[in-house]
Structure 1
Amino acid sequence: MGICIVLFSSLSQSRSSYIFRILNSTGAAERMTKLSALVAAVSLLPILCFSFSPENPTDRRVLVLLDDLSLKSSHSIFFNSLKSRGFDLDFKLADDPKLSLQRYGQYLYDALILFTPSTDRFGGSLDLAGVLDFVDSGHDLILAADASASDLIRNIATECGVDFDEDSSAMVIDHKSYAVTETEGDHTLIVSDDYIQSDVILGSTKVESPILYKGIAHSLNAANSLVLKVLSASPSAYSANPSSKLSNPPLLIGSAISLVSVVQARNNARIMITGSLDMFSNRLLRSGVQKAGDSNKYSKSGNEQFVTELSKWVFHERGHLKAVNLRHHKVGETDEPAIYRINDNLEFSVQIYEWSGKSWGPYVANDVQVQFYMMSPYVLKTLFTDQKGLYHTSFKVPDVYGVFQFKVEYQRLGYTSLSLSKQIPVRPFKHNEYERFITTAFPYYGASFITMAGFFIFSIFYLYNK
């Protein structure tokens, strides 16, 4: 980008004198030639700027909406961890009258953090549809609620496949897995270590300390196959109003209660939803923890590690894949043909890389497959890898002609999905390409000659025999 600035600066400084010299040049043809060259050079500058920009899938511009600006200090540890990883955080109140996610059709931010549980209506031009369009366009979202969750926040969560408890006064209560504190309390500060076992989502370093949670419960929409439970409540937990006696059995109980859930949409947008805004607070991130009935006491909860590692996944610092250089050619050749013939032997290859948060590195797996597809897959092959990002295989073109596709459809828990396809026609043999004599047709050849010989012998016998 610095090169672009220098180029534009030097152009602006000298353009007046240069254009003046062009206009005073002798000959109309010379003037038109030089002006055309100048226009072409200027038009190439955006392309040059783009070519010098490194490819980076990580969200960098993040809009943080708050109910109260005091959350900047009470949740500063979480925000500072994002800033230390290179994110540009823009803090705004949820009712800011100038609030907008896009300008002139272009989004101003790469990700959105909603720490606005009690907001009934966003300010400016932002509304429920705007948040959903933001996600539908491939951007990421972190949503945190609490006992004061408004209908707006609940509706956003519902559209993402998560249903908060309908009882607005209910909280997660656990009389067995609660955190031991100086005051007995109502057992709404619970302890959970039932989190998903996935290195790509929560990192390879295991969360050693239990996680403190104080908030509301939610369940996953069974019709949504994209939502995933990351942190669950214990079997003894339930969702109810802690200040009143239960008159009816609670609707959400046990492990059906999800504390933190994530969604990876089909466009690879990532969403994190939790019913606890306190889970991100400095108080719980730095607090010691001891589970009721457990003698082990931890000097620090696992909240900081948990929310940090999970935010890395949400913001595509981990688990982001890209595929490049999809190639195919006949065995023994290097050029990609425009058409294949049935029964040709071909080689297929593709390179897959994973983003580490700072650079691209080879992605290594043994479950990447390619389909040779026409209406249905005629060939399905598992690709071999050289451990350096290259996946390859070879196979024979089926004895069916038509328009085929090489298809790589890769979906793995926690990773961005890959969907690649490349079309190629397949033709039958030409008339002069068939074998002169087909081995399997020898019985028919023999029958023909035997028939001719028998007719000849019969004719001789009939004509000359008295």
Structure 2
Amino acid sequence: MRSICTFITVLTVLPLLCHSFSNENPTDRRLLVLLDDFSIKSSHSIFFLSLQSRGFHLDFKLSDDPKLTLQRYGQYLYDGLILFSPISDSFGGSLNLGAVLDFVDSGGDLILAADASASDLVRNIATELGVDFDEDPSAMIIDHTSYAVSETEGDHSLIASDDFIQSDVILGKTKIEAPVLFKGIAHSLNPANSLVVKVLSASPSAYSFNPNSKLSQPPSLTGSAVSLVSVVQARNNARILISGSIDMFSNRFFTSAVQKAGSTNKYKKSGNQQFVTELSKWVFHERGHLRAVNVRHHKIGENDEPAIYRIKDDLVFSVEIYEWSGKSWEPYMANDVQVEFYMMSPYVLKTLATDQKGLYYTSFKVPDVYGVFQFKVDYHRLGYTSLSLSKQIPVRPFRHNEYERFITTAFPYYGASFTTMAGFFIFSFIFLYNK
């Protein structure tokens, strides 16, 4: 099995990394949807229609289709992959665990939904992406305090969760009022993967166990260790959504009324549709997608980029950063973008100012060290695509005719030299002419 370290250390060596796919329009994309049964296409039609209405082209196929392939002649046919096939032990055609991971390593986006009958293949994919489902194949998430009130008394495996991540870029600026209905399996985050983030968490009273068995020993997953829905943003800006419930995406859960146990608030419609729609916008780069252009630097008072700088030169560095709004590129607003002037270690670290129109800039003096430096911008912020920019530039010392004729700090040495000469002259005069 491929090590997770291979996945989380994907990092480009190109001078500029601003997005993980080539399309200028992030919504003009093709998605492959793999299903266990074509009935899922109708039972989850609201979710699929939402994607199609936003400009995505969906290609529905059974997971065991013998003609399945993600690429042809070395080129990927799809920009995203939706795995709604939790019970599939194997995929058809050339698709397998390695092919899915290679797709993500190449910048493809992924939605993976499981349930209580999840196969080893689905669990292995999740493990490679930094998420560990409960090893007990019969276990489900159970909560005796935060369950959804239903006609089936005592069914505490239907969870009503409202513990969302506090991030406008991932879940949108509109607050999700109603709880999300969830019925499925729990998972935990691999501590070795710092790129995995909980999006929907269970309550402290939740635990993972077989609801048809008597609890004779402590469950393996409890409380804060339980995640219901998690996301991953890889270092190559591929985005992944992992859910332990495929029912969470269904029409039935989208349109169901919901009331959380112990609460008097009853909502005519659950928060599932808003939650899944906003989350899918983030996964497929409709939000939080950044692009950096026009990386420039020059001496103060000049406009052209020099081939080389001299120590102690005053220079200006600038870059333009834009964010995809869903329809067009808009200026990105932030106050935490920094640039490093780097050689083995950063000699200069400056926070960039902005004109609120997408331009970020700063000025500084080249350090009194010569060698080959780099302008580096490594920007990482939760929910946003990472920016890794670098430009190389040599720095030379002063030429022999560029040094100051007289250095102020050397005046004491100048004075000592002239004093010595004057003293020697006086001594010689007295020695020669004094009888």
State, as a whole percentage, how many aligned pairs show the same letter. 83
* 2:302 corresponds to 1:333: yes
CA distance in 1, matches of 2:405, 2:392: 32
* 2:210 corresponds to 1:249: no
Q: TM-score, normalised by structure 1?
A: 0.88
Equivalent residue for 2:258?
A: 289
CA distance in 2, matches of 1:446, 1:58: 74
Q: 1:65 aligned to 34, 50, 68, which one? A: 34
* 2:196 corresponds to 1:235: no
Secondary structure of the 2:173 match is coil
Question: How far 1:116 moved relative to its partner?
Answer: 0.6
Q: 1:426 aligned to 384, 392, 395, which one? A: 395
* 2:371 corresponds to 1:371: no
* 2:91 corresponds to 1:119: no
* 2:415 corresponds to 1:446: yes
* 1:119/1:150 contact within 8 Å kept: yes
* 1:329/1:346 contact within 8 Å kept: yes
Equivalent residue for 1:77?
A: 46
- Partner AA of 1:239 in structure 2: S
* 2:102 corresponds to 1:138: no
Q: 1:184 aligned to 132, 136, 153, which one? A: 153
Secondary structure of the 2:34 match is strand
C-alpha distance after superposition, 1:197-250 (max 9, x if no partner): 000000010101111100000000001000001000001100000001011110
Question: How far 1:56 moved relative to its partner?
Answer: 1.7
Question: How far 1:54 moved relative to its partner?
Answer: 7.2
* 2:381 corresponds to 1:401: no
Equivalent residue for 2:270?
A: 301
* 1:373/1:406 contact within 8 Å kept: yes
- Partner AA of 1:429 in structure 2: F
* 2:274 corresponds to 1:274: no
Q: TM-score, normalised by structure 2?
A: 0.94
CA distance in 1, matches of 2:28, 2:149: 38
* 1:402/1:425 contact within 8 Å kept: yes
- Partner AA of 1:447 in structure 2: A
* 2:28/2:55 contact within 8 Å kept: no
Equivalent residue for 1:101?
A: 70
Question: How far 1:57 moved relative to its partner?
Answer: 3.1
Equivalent residue for 2:316?
A: 347
CA distance in 2, matches of 1:428, 1:60: 51
Secondary structure of the 1:432 match is coil
Equivalent residue for 1:412?
A: 381
Question: How far 1:457 moved relative to its partner?
Answer: 1.2
C-alpha distance after superposition, 1:395-444 (max 9, x if no partner): 11111111111111100000000000001111111111111111111110
* 2:290/2:322 contact within 8 Å kept: yes
Question: How far 1:59 moved relative to its partner?
Answer: 6.0
Matches within 5 A, 1:17-56: 55-56=24-25
Equivalent residue for 2:331?
A: 362
* 2:27/2:54 contact within 8 Å kept: no
* 2:147 corresponds to 1:148: no
Q: May I ask how many residue pairs the two structures share in their alignment?
A: 414
Question: How far 1:394 moved relative to its partner?
Answer: 0.7
C-alpha distance after superposition, 1:293-323 (max 9, x if no partner): 1111000000000000000000000000010
- Partner AA of 1:121 in structure 2: S
* 1:59/1:315 contact within 8 Å kept: no
Structure 1: gaps spanning 5 or more residues: 1-52
- Partner AA of 1:356 in structure 2: S
Question: How far 1:459 moved relative to its partner?
Answer: 1.2
Equivalent residue for 1:462?
A: 431
Larger Rg: 1
Q: 1:317 aligned to 286, 290, 313, which one? A: 286
Give the structure, 1 or 2, with the largest relative contact order (CA under 8 Å, sep 6 or more). Answer: 2
Secondary structure of the 2:401 match is helix
- Partner AA of 1:78 in structure 2: F
Equivalent residue for 1:260?
A: 229
- Superposition RMSD in Å: 1.0
